[in-house]
Every structure is written in structure tokens, then in C-alpha cells.
Amino acid sequence: MRIAVYGANGFQGKMTTAVLAQQAIQPVLVGRSRERLAIAADELGLSAAELRVAETADRRSLLGAFEGCDAVINCAGPFTGHAERIVSAAISAGCHYVDTAGEQGFVKSVFDNFPNEARNAGVVVLPSATDGAVPGDLLAHMIAADIDKIDSIVVAHRIVGGGGPSKGSLRSVVETREDIATGGLSYEDGTWRSGEPLDRSTMAFVGEEEVAISKFPLVETITIPRHVRVRRVVGVIETSLAARLSAPFPAEMIETLSNPSPDVRKDQKFLIIVEATSTDGSVLRGTVEGTDTYGTTAAIAVECASRLVEDQARSGVLAASQAFEPVKFLDRLAAHNVHWRIEEIRKASVK
């Protein structure tokens, strides 16, 4: 199995390439600079790995970079504005495609623009193979199997510790700041809408303590309605974090910052909550807990790409739950310190 990693010399790309090598999958390192790719390969102990140079604006070089590969993992953010070229080239090269995008608008554009192209090529395109989007989508599918007539789903993300975002994550924040400031898209009555107000102001993330929440452009808002019958889906995070991410800061400041180190990341904890309310008032809550968002994203991206190559889901642009069996996939993540559960937190009202 040969899997190309676009942006292999970047922060997320190096971690993803390392996971491929650990699993005895042959990585092909792709990026814009051969010198930087060579440095990354040496740092990873992969000096013999194949290096291929490709610019996002040069379709011919992208096709050449992906030639002979089974799948492409795109780790080169920000994804908004240029990554669709990589999606198209991967499809034309006959490769399955996954990426580590967390940008809601980009993910929706992939679902909108590439389903026919992917189906005709017989490949799977799975955007946002990340620590949040994949577990959140899988949880929602499992909950939907246990609850009748879902009215609404609230998806929440929480991160504690970890030294702050990477440079790549901050570049994505700058690129999508308007979406973050408005809360992005929610799904309601069959369509995606912006500007819809929340019907609650707080949420208990841990125990009984309620914290203020705000709408946030989470990717699960785009993926869940594609396989779950539900009237409304909305993404939220803590209001304090939403305020920090929407605050203006100079893009050039990013280059003066450092990416979180392995020692810092090992102390980071993340929590994904999927809370579904049925039309009869019952509520099921699914949670996924793990450590090191970036390391977990690398593991999930590799798991997605390798499973697509080995198991071949139906072709097209798919959400995680459309490509994989949810319980089996989530259970495989236990090896990466990711654990999940589903519980009833409110019974149906008695009439």
C-alpha cells in the first residue's frame, strides 16, 4: 500500500507520515519544496522515502505526485481556497482522498462539488478525517440507531491544555474568521443556514457544571444530516474559546509562534459530545474522550485512508459513518487512547 501525504513536511503532515511508517505503509512525501521534504524525511528516519514536489496550482505536477498511489492524505492547510485542486487531482489519479481539514465551508464545498466525479472514478473522498469530525459523526450514527424520531442534535467540542493551536490551525482560523464570528452553518428543516440562534445558552461538559456555549462552525453539522434523519443539527464550543478565536490578530504573528511540543501535547485532553433529543423528549448523549488532538488526527487520517484502500466503501464523497462501521472504527481507536460511550440522560416524557 502506498499513500501520498501532501504537506508531509508540515506539523500535521510529519505526524501523519510517521504513523504510516509505524504501520508499515509506504509513505510518499509530497510538498512544494524538495529541500523541506528531505529535512522532514531525515527527521522521521525515512531518508529512503520517495519525495515528490507539486504545487497546488500545477495540476500536472499534482497528478504526477499522486501517480501509483492508492490514497492521498492532504495535511496542507488552510484548505479553503486551494485544496479543491488537490481533491480533483487525487480523484483523477484514481486515489482515495482524505484530509485533516476542520474548515466547515471547505468541507461543505467538497460534498457539493465532487460527488459525481468521485463516483465516476470509483474512489472515496472523505474530508475532515480529524479527532473531532470522525468520532462525532460516528457517534451520531450510533445514537440514531437507538432513538426514534430525532428532533435535534447538538455537537460540542472541548479541549483542555496542549499549549494552544498549531501554526496551521491558526492560519485556518484567520482564513475562516468570518464564519467563526457568525457561528457558521447549522442544519435546520432540510437545509444549511447561517445566523440561526441557539435554543440554549449553557451545556454541561463534565459532571453537572454548566458552562456558557456559543455556536461554532463544526464539520459534523455538514456530515451528520447526510445519514441521520434529524430536524436540526448545530455545533457549539465554550463561549470563552469562541471569543478568543474570533478576536482579530495579525496573520504575520503566526510565524513568530511555536507549534505545541510532544511533551505539551501529551497533557492535552479533548472531549467530543453528541447530544440527541427525540421528539418525545428523551435525550441520549454520546461522548468521546482522548488526548493529543494532533496525534489523534494523524492516527484517524491514516486509519481512514488505509481502511478505504483495504475495504473499499462505495464510491463518492462520504461522511465517516457512510464509509465505516462506527463501533468497529471507534473501538480501533482505543489503541490511541480514545474511548467512547453512549448513555441516556433523560427519559421520554410521560403523557
pLDDT 10s digits, 268-295 = 999 999 999 999 999 999 999 999 999 9
Do 174 and 148 belong together in one domain? yes
What is the CB-side half-sphere exposure of residue 202 using CA atoms within 13 A?
A: 6
pLDDT per residue as tens digits for the range 187-206: 999 999 998 889 889 999 87
Do 29 and 152 belong together in one domain? no
Q: 96 and 274 in contact (C-beta within 8 Å)? A: no
Do 16 and 101 belong together in one domain? yes
> Which CATH number belongs to the domain containing residue 164 in this structure?
3.30.360.10
In DSSP terms, which residues pair with 238 in a beta bridge?
A: 213
pLDDT at 208 exceeding the cut of 80: no
pLDDT per residue as tens digits for the range 142-154: 999 988 789 999 9
Do 11 and 63 belong together in one domain? yes
Q: 150 and 278 in contact (C-beta within 8 Å)? A: yes
**Structure pTM?**
0.95
Please state, rounded to an integer, the average pLDDT across all residues of the chain.
Answer: 93
Do 126 and 200 belong together in one domain? no
Do 279 and 304 belong together in one domain? no
Do 193 and 110 belong together in one domain? no
76's CB contacts (< 8 A; 6+ apart) are 6, 7, 10, 13, 31, 56, 83, 86
Please indicate, yes or no, if residue 351 is contained in any of the structural domains: no
Please indicate, yes or no, if residue 106 is contained in any of the structural domains: yes
Do 262 and 335 belong together in one domain? yes
Do 157 and 89 belong together in one domain? no
Measuring CA to CA, how many Å separate 18 from each of 25, 72, 101, 157, 308? 10, 15, 19, 26, 19
Domain count, the chain: 2
349 confidence band (pLDDT: 50, 70, 90): low
DSSP helix/strand/coil, 46: coil
What residues make up the domain containing 9? 2-130+296-325
